[in-house]
Amino acid sequence: MPHPISFRTAQGTAKRDSSADHAEAALTLKRAIKEDYSYHDLHGVNWDQRFAEYTNRLGAAGSAGEFARIAAGLLAPAKDIHLWLEVDGKIVPTFQRRAPWNINLTTLPKRVERWSRRNAVVSDGEFADGIHYVLIRSWPSRNEELQPAFDALERARKAGAPLIIDVRANGGGAEVAAQQFAGCFVDCPVAYAKHITRSGGKFGQPYTRELQPNKAYPTFTNRVAVLAGQGTISSAEGFVMMMQQNPRCSIFGERTAGASGNPQRIDLGNGVAALVPSWKQLNLNGELLETKGIEPQVTVPAKQADFENGDPVLDGALNHLREPKRP
């Protein structure tokens, strides 16, 4: 049987000049940094001078990967872990943050009784006197990864037991996931943070973020301790601010990292994308948190050597939760 077929040829495409692509990409990156980068002025970097020094090198890059590596060097003075480049599905960082954490993940399972590693994100435990514990390593966008943390929360609630939430090694992730978990501890909407967004070289008005109750779970009304420190980063810091609004919760440890930016993806058009922070994270008083972090309610000073055979931060929280309830 005959079948009618129709088609048309594609338009001819000339081979693109990669140097022209890279030169245009350098201009796109410069506009993004000068107009949309929220921490443009934080460290006093002369961005015009930086781009003047690097533009020719960027235009002469032999590949997208080389362009990304050169651009990473250009952006390094920003000292911003939320400012990075992507090429071929791989991240090219502009800055590597190094800070001592107040936790030892190798020895921690020996410190927490009835320790159980549920997955790469969540581990939990229960002490002999009934205090429950959950370690959350990130705030994943996939609900099933965080489900064991909700299960631990429910076991503590049903037992009428206190709960320790450990985010000392939580590098952030989806703040929505943090809101869903923290929403189990409030029964009404509550403000917890502010931010201002930069676009077109200007900042907008401060926006107040609110924590909503998670109606899928009963409100947790037992006492809570949150463990935090320099390994508590980005949306994990947002989680700490959420939990600060709970009068039954105390924050133990050290100040958090002070690093949050809500980076936005910008396609540079040459096979490279730039992730550029768009907001400044503020506390409810409107104070900038970048590089400053959030101070705990109970500071537990400790050196890394202190975690080889103990955990003073965990011990501080346990001692607090074991104290009789005050009327």
What is the per-residue pLDDT for 14? 34
On whether the CB atoms of residues 64 and 72 are closer than 8 A, the answer is no
Q: Give the separation between CA 248 and CA 75, rounded to whole angstroms.
A: 43
pLDDT value at 139 more than 70: yes
Q: Which domain holds residue 86?
A: 18-93
Q: What sign results for the dihedral spanned by CA atoms 275, 179, 224, 309?
A: negative
Report yes or no on 286 lying in a domain: no
On average, the pLDDT of the chain sits at 93
Q: For the chain, how many structural domains are there in total?
A: 2
Residue 12 falls inside a structural domain: no
The first and second tokens of residue 70, run together, are 């050169």
58, 93, 128: which is the final residue of a domain?
93
Q: What is the tens place of the pLDDT at every residue in 183-223? A: 999 999 999 999 999 999 999 999 999 999 999 999 999 99
Query: pLDDT category, 7, cuts 50, 70, 90?
Result: very low
Which of 218, 246, 273 is CA-nearest to residue 72?
A: 273
Strand pairing category for 298-299 and 249-253 = parallel
pTM higher than the cut 0.95 = no
CATH label of the domain that carries residue 298 = 3.90.226.10
Q: Using an 8 Å Cβ cutoff, are 288 and 296 in contact?
A: no
The residue type of 82 is H
DSSP state of 187: S
Q: Are residues 241 and 149 in the same domain?
A: yes
Phi, psi (rounded to 5 degrees) for 274: -110, 135
Same domain, 129 and 182: yes
Instruction: Count CB neighbours of 313 within 10 A.
Output: 28
Tally Cβ neighbours within 10 Å of residue 267: 12
Q: What is the pLDDT of residue 17?
A: 46
Q: Residue 46's pLDDT is what? A: 97
One domain, residues 306 and 165 = yes
